[in-house]
Amino acid sequence: MADAKTGLYGLIGFPARHSLSPAMHNAAFKALGINAVYLAFEVHPDKLGEAIGGVRALGISGLNVTMPYKEAVVRFLNSLSGDSEEIGSVNTVVNRNGRLEGHTTDGIGARRALERAVELGDRRILILGAGGAGKAIAHELAKDNEVVVLNRTPEKARALERFGVTGDSLNRANLVKYIEWAEILINATSVGMNSWETPVSGEMLNEKLVVMDIIYKPLKTRLLSEAELRGCRTVDGLWMLVYQGIESFRLWTGLEPDENLMRGAVLEGLGQ
Ligand SMILES: NC(=O)c1ccc[n+]([C@@H]2O[C@H](COP(=O)([O-])OP(=O)(O)OC[C@H]3O[C@@H](n4cnc5c(N)ncnc54)[C@H](OP(=O)(O)O)[C@@H]3O)[C@@H](O)[C@H]2O)c1
């Protein structure tokens, strides 16, 4: 039951009403006995600055930031974490007595999801896609591993070479070459989202690959289905969603919620 001491958290985006984050974070607050609520705020593009002013004025404790504001929000904040500064993107805001800190948890969320299936060690990683998510994941994984990023628009993949990755064009010849080279394959394109498309045809996969798709609608994408048929270990996109949420929650509260509880709440939200 909300009262005068209830802490307020939320998500800003446009659109925002489809988000699964409220289900996930409210379940965690409840399970941990924290007096707080998490809401979704659909902020119109010309109101972003006012919305962030409102966070300060109302003392909203923390935010997630989603499309299309992960980069635009940066200029309204007081400080950025090292990772956020390097990729120029924020998905989590922590309000410390009116000073707003920007963080990014997408990269670490993807790392933790992958680590469910494989110890990263010095494994070679191929990432498809250099959009917002691909960039954050490439930046994080290139800290310790060799990473190649292929993207339909090759300039965006090459722009990530500043993080020490190799960037190139997403075409059949490069897929054949780098799938042979890689031990881990991550789809960070939107190909396969709400459709039965795949960025890599099944016959190109081999059983030595660990395959992660960051898409979670559908939960089992065509890429993951075909990877399973080939005998690959697979990781679905819901795990990345859950772990980026857990990392945000930890930044706000210092506590680590239960991953299965968070995943269960999201699955319920997805109607599964
Ligand atoms: N699991 C999670 O927690 C999580 C988090 C974030 C995002 N996601 C999912 O990840 C996907 C990407 O999100 P994002 O934020 O990175 O989006 P984004 O910034 O719009 O990037 C989209 C990426 O997909 C590529 N792409 C789109 N259509 C393509 C096509 N027909 N052929 C080849 N490449 C194509 C784009 O290539 P170009 O650069 O050439 O356009 C770009 O690399 C979405 O499905 C999103 O739902 C999941």
pLDDT digits (tens, 9 = 90+) for 47-93: 999 999 999 999 999 999 999 999 999 999 999 999 999 999 999 99
Nearest CA to ligand 1 atom 25: 189
Whole-number pLDDT of residue 1: 81
Nearest CA to ligand 1 atom 11: 190
Catalytic residue flag (residue 135) = no
Nearest in space to 132 (alpha carbons), one of 170, 103, 114, 106: 106
131 CA distance to ligand 1 middle (Å): 5
Work out the average pLDDT over 21-49.
97
- Options 5, 47, 70, 208, the catalytic residue: 70
191 CA distance to ligand 1 middle (Å): 7
CATH assignment of 107-235, given 3.40.50.2300, 3.20.20.70, 3.40.50.720, 3.10.450.50? Answer: 3.40.50.720
What is the CA 234 to chain-centroid distance, rounded? 17
Whole-number pLDDT of residue 270: 87
pLDDT in tens, 110-135: 999 999 999 999 999 999 999 999 99
Residues of the chain with CATH 3.40.50.720: 107-235
Partnered with residue 210 across adjacent β-strands are 184, 233
153 CA distance to ligand 1 middle (Å): 12
Q: Are 77 and 55 in contact (CB under 8 A)?
A: no
Nearest CA to ligand 1 atom 47: 215
Per CATH, the homologous superfamily of domain 7-104+243-269 is Leucine Dehydrogenase, chain A, domain 1 (3.40.50.10860)
- Of 189, 201, 244, best ligand 1 pocket probe by most atoms within 8 Å of the beta carbon: 189
Strands 210-213 and 184-187: what pairing? parallel
Residues of the chain with CATH 3.40.50.10860: 7-104+243-269
Task: Pick the atom of ligand 1 nearest to 152's CA.
Answer: 40
Residue 99 has pLDDT above 80, yes or no: yes
Average predicted confidence (pLDDT) for the chain:
97
DSSP per residue over 165-217, as a string? -EEEE-SHHHHHHHHHH-SEEEE-SSTTTTSS--SS-GGG--TT-EEEE---S
Residue 272 has pLDDT above 80, yes or no: no
**The tokens of 136 are what?**
């954050």
pLDDT in tens, 191-241: 999 999 999 999 999 999 999 999 999 999 999 999 999 999 999 999 999
DSSP per residue over 7-32, as a string? EEEEEEESS-TT-SHHHHHHHHHHHT
> pLDDT-based confidence at 271, cuts 50/70/90?
confident
What phi and psi, each to the nearest 5 degrees, are found at residue 154?
-65, -30
Whole-number pLDDT of residue 45: 95
**The tokens of 205 are what?**
């996969």
Residue 134's H or E segment, with its range, is: helix 132-141
User: SS3 of 115, please?
Assistant: helix
What phi and psi, each to the nearest 5 degrees, are found at residue 18?
-85, -5
Q: Is 244 in the pocket of ligand 1 (CB under 6 A)?
A: yes
Whole-number pLDDT of residue 256: 96
Q: Which residue has the tokens 């299936």?
A: 117
Nearest CA to ligand 1 atom 30: 191
Q: Where are the beta strands (DSSP E) in 15-91?
A: 36-42, 62-65, 79-80
Rounded to whole angstroms, the Cα distance separating 237 from 188 reads 10
Work out the average pLDDT over 39-48.
97
Strands 99-103 and 92-96: what pairing? antiparallel
